[in-house]
Structure formats: structure tokens, C-alpha cells
Amino acid sequence: MNRHSTAAAPGPIYLDNQATTATDPRVVEAMLPFFTEKFGNPHSTGHAFGWQASDAVEAARQKIANLIGADAREIIFTSGATESNNLAIKGLARFNRSRGDHLITTRIEHKCVLECFQRLQREGFRVTYLDVDDAGRIDLSQLSEAIGAGTLMVSVIGAHNEVGVVQQLADIGALCRDCGVHFHSDCAQAAGKIELDVNSLKIDLLSISGHKMYGPMGIGALYIRRRPRVRLQAMMDGGGQERGYRSGTLPTPLCVGLGEAAELARLEMADEARRLTGLREQLLASLRKNLPNLQVNGSMDHRLPGNLNLMFAGISGDDLVTGLKGLAISTGSACTSATVEPSYVLRAMGLSDRDASASVRIGLGRFTTYEEIEKAGELIIGEVLKLQASGGQSSSASAA
Ligand SMILES: Cc1ncc(COP(=O)(O)O)c(C=O)c1O
């Protein structure tokens, strides 16, 4: 039921859905009228053009709220998860500075989260970085010990962009609530892929990205809890839109697109998760049969349905990625893959530099077909065997 063709021209098979996802054609269709016929400024309160745009924005806001069990008044639009994370983390810390100076996060967060905490450290905050085990998950007792009198916030990534590992969000939320500490989760990868309910998980702030869930690029959202009320310092000055948290004219077509993407994800999530898990198991089984030494990085029990992160001993992941002309996969997060250093995430999970450099990320998505998975398996097996036969590690791995 999820078979909708993308506009993409025939070319390499796309298995990098943690980097970005194609915008669902149904999302594009919903957006189009808001570029041309229904182009009003949603903040124009004096005429029908404005009301029409504003109604569409509010309908979209409701759909995003429905995806995570929130109230529409708790959703604000941003430009993406980077902005949502910045606003949540820096906004909460700075607003509450008089109440405490301690913050907690993990070693495996996305760069945009880690950089926020590093900036706050330069402003005088103390930050605890939690370790993860070899499955990629945090230790709840370490978290519990880290929380102290001056702790303001715990920020833990919901589902990981490299290893797809899903954290114990309900346990973390319960612990934070008991201790009176705010809980933020970067759910750029989790939203729309796994069930998230901000009330049962006791999440106070939750970041969403449009382009990770078949919506457009350049739009995201931040959930901000109303009860008990969470308050943030805004980052931008201006017209005071989005309850003062995010000034600037809302991009109606993008808001509509994110709303439609959220609605589709909510309706199709369970079926799609089953389908992707099946395809992933098929790929993994065929790789294992032909490459018995491969290792899966991160928990297989607590993982996004479409994600694999695999280590092929003795080769360079970069060489594999560049050698696979017919397949788009990556060695890690797109935002940091310009650097040749082995992934800090895999190293935090206990992999040696050499094994981290021999790892690749594979992300299946809504438009991935059975035939593509069969072909991808053949391509990977052929290339890995070729690299292993030629002595494996070359350029980037020897530099690491
Ligand atoms: C876990 C995670 N957080 C944040 C981001 C940043 O999202 P955006 O591209 O919407 O700013 C990404 C994107 O790679 C991500 O995977």
C-alpha cells in the first residue's frame, strides 16, 4: 500500500534514508496550491488570503500534534531539527539559568546537539556526557547518578541517525519527571517511524525534521510542553510569531507539507515498519550468507525498522561507499561525512578506529522495493569481496 513512485530518474538505488528522504508525491501535491493560488501571508489577519493560509497552517499544526499525542498549541514550526534542537537546549538552559547550571546529554548525539552543549559549557554551564554500551544505549543508573540538585535538563536522542538505535525513552522520561528535570529528545529520526507519545513518554521538548519523514527540507517543529509548563528563551527577535518563540513569517507550503507528512506517517507507520523490517532482514540474511564475518553495529532489538550499520572487517567503509556506483549508502552522518575521522558514535560504542572505519550505514525507506534490496545485496557482496581480495584498507582507513 505504500508503493508510490518517486519522481527520481533511474539511477543508483537509494539506501541513505537516514540522510534524507524523498518528499512523498502526496505531500508535494498538498503543498502546491499554497505557492500559487493560496499564497496569502498566514499572519495577515485582515483578509481572506491570510485566513486561508492561516487555516492551512493550523490544520498542519494539528496533524503534527496528532503524530506525537500533543496539543496543537504545543507545536511550533522551525526550519528543521537543527533549529529545534538549538531552541530547545540553549533556550531552556538560558531561560532557567537562575535555577541551575547542570545539563546532561549523551556522547552519541547529533553534532547540532553536541555543539549546543559545547556552547553552553563556554557560557559556564556544566555538562555531563553519558556513555553508551556496545548496543548503543545509555545506562539508566548512570543517568540517575548524574542528576543532581542543579540539573536543569536531560537531552537524549530518540533514534540514532547512524546506528538507528532507539533509547529507553519511557524510562528516561519517568526518571526525569520524578527528579523534576526537563527531558528533551531529538526525534529527527524517530518521528514518523516509531510510535511516540509525549505524555506516556513524559517528554517535555521534542524535535522533528520534515526531510527525514518524507516531508520537505527546510521545515521542522519543536514540541514544547504546556503542562507542566516549559519555558524557553527565544533565539530570534522579530514579529513574535509562534507564541514569541520563533519570529518570522511562516512558510505556508512547507508547514502544509510537514503536516501532510505527519498525517501519512501516522496512518501508515505500523504497516510500513513491518514492511521495512522484512526487507531489512532479507538484506541482512543474504549479506550474512555470503560475508560471514560481517558485524552489525548497535542493538537489533531496539532499532529503527529500516536501518542497518554494518562492519566488514578488513576493508575501508569509504572505499566501499565510493566503489558502489549503483548504490547510495554512506559511512555515517551526512553532516559529518566530509571528515575522514572514524565515527565518534561507533567509537563511543566501543569499536576500534579500524572497525569504525570499516563500517557503513544503510537506510531503507518508504520507496525501497524488494527488487532494489535483492540488487543492493548483490552489489554489496561483490564489492566487499573485491576489496577484501585486494587487501582491504586503503586511502581513508590508513589515514585514520
Ligand atoms: C538525529 C538528527 N538530529 C538532527 C538533525 C538535523 O536535522 P535538520 O537537517 O532538519 O536540521 C539530523 C539530520 O541529519 C539528525 O539525523
> How large is the average pLDDT for residues 225-248?
96
**In the CATH scheme, what is the code of domain 13-22+269-399?**
3.90.1150.10
335 as an active site residue: the answer is yes
**In the CATH scheme, what is the code of domain 26-263?**
3.40.640.10
Phi, psi of 307 (to 5 degrees): -100, 140
Query: Exactly one of 112, 116, 187, 335 is catalytic; which is it?
Result: 335
Long-range residue pairs from 227-231, CB within 8 A, at least 24 positions apart, any chain: 230/92, 230/182, 230/204, 230/205, 231/92, 231/95, 231/96
336-356: buried (b, 16+ CB within 10 Å) or exposed (e) per residue? beeeeebbbbbbbbebeebbb
Does residue 400 surpass a pLDDT of 80?
no
> How large is the average pLDDT for residues 357-364?
98
Query: Hey, whose CA ends up nearest to atom 16 of ligand 1?
Result: 161
Q: Which atom of ligand 1 is closest in space to residue 82's alpha carbon?
A: 11
Cα–Cα distance for residue pair 230/17, rounded to 1 Å: 32
Does residue 341 surpass a pLDDT of 90?
no
Query: Hey, whose CA ends up nearest to atom 11 of ligand 1?
Result: 82
* Structure letter (DSSP) for residue 5: -
pTM for the predicted model, two decimal places: 0.95
- pLDDT band, residue 336 (cuts 50/70/90): low
> How large is the average pLDDT for residues 109-129?
98
Residues 124-151: tens digit of each pLDDT = 999 999 999 999 999 999 999 999 999 9
Q: From ligand 1's centre to the CA of 188, what distance in Å?
A: 6
- pLDDT band, residue 110 (cuts 50/70/90): very high
Task: Identify the pLDDT of residue 2.
Answer: 39
Task: Identify the pLDDT of residue 304.
Answer: 98
Q: Which atom of ligand 1 is closest in space to residue 157's alpha carbon?
A: 1
What grid cell was written down for 160?
A: 540514532
Residues 183-198: tens digit of each pLDDT = 999 999 999 999 999 9
Cα–Cα distance for residue pair 167/355, rounded to 1 Å: 23
> How large is the average pLDDT for residues 53-67?
99
* Structure letter (DSSP) for residue 298: S
Kindly list the protein residues whose Cβ atom lies closer than 6 A to any atom of ligand 1.
80-82, 110, 112, 157, 161, 186, 188-189, 209, 220, 333, 335
- pLDDT band, residue 333 (cuts 50/70/90): low
| 79, 106, 112: residue to mutate for ligand 1 pocket, most atoms within 8 A of CB | 112
- pLDDT band, residue 11 (cuts 50/70/90): confident
Q: Which atom of ligand 1 is closest in space to residue 211's alpha carbon?
A: 10
Domain residue ranges of the chain, discontinuous segments joined by + = 13-22+269-399, 26-263
Ranges 218-227, 293-302, 337-346: which has the least confidence: 337-346
382 vs 11, residue with greater confidence:
382
Does residue 4 surpass a pLDDT of 70?
no
Task: Identify the pLDDT of residue 1.
Answer: 36
Query: Hey, whose CA ends up nearest to atom 14 of ligand 1?
Result: 19
Query: Hey, whose CA ends up nearest to atom 4 of ligand 1?
Result: 81
| 167, 212, 217: residue to mutate for ligand 1 pocket, most atoms within 8 A of CB | 212
- pLDDT band, residue 42 (cuts 50/70/90): very high
Sign (positive or negative) of CA dihedral 369, 30, 73, 263: negative
Q: Which atom of ligand 1 is closest in space to residue 18's alpha carbon?
A: 16
Q: From ligand 1's centre to the CA of 351, what distance in Å?
A: 23
> How large is the average pLDDT for residues 365-372?
98
Does residue 7 surpass a pLDDT of 50?
no
- pLDDT band, residue 392 (cuts 50/70/90): low
- Reduce the secondary structure of 215-230 to three states and give it as a string: CCCCCEEEEECCCCCC
Task: Identify the pLDDT of residue 264.
Answer: 99
Q: From ligand 1's centre to the CA of 81, what distance in Å?
A: 5
Task: Identify the pLDDT of residue 239.
Answer: 95
Does residue 223 surpass a pLDDT of 50?
yes
Does residue 3 surpass a pLDDT of 50?
no
Q: From ligand 1's centre to the CA of 367, what distance in Å?
A: 20
Q: From ligand 1's centre to the CA of 210, what distance in Å?
A: 10
Does residue 282 surpass a pLDDT of 70?
yes
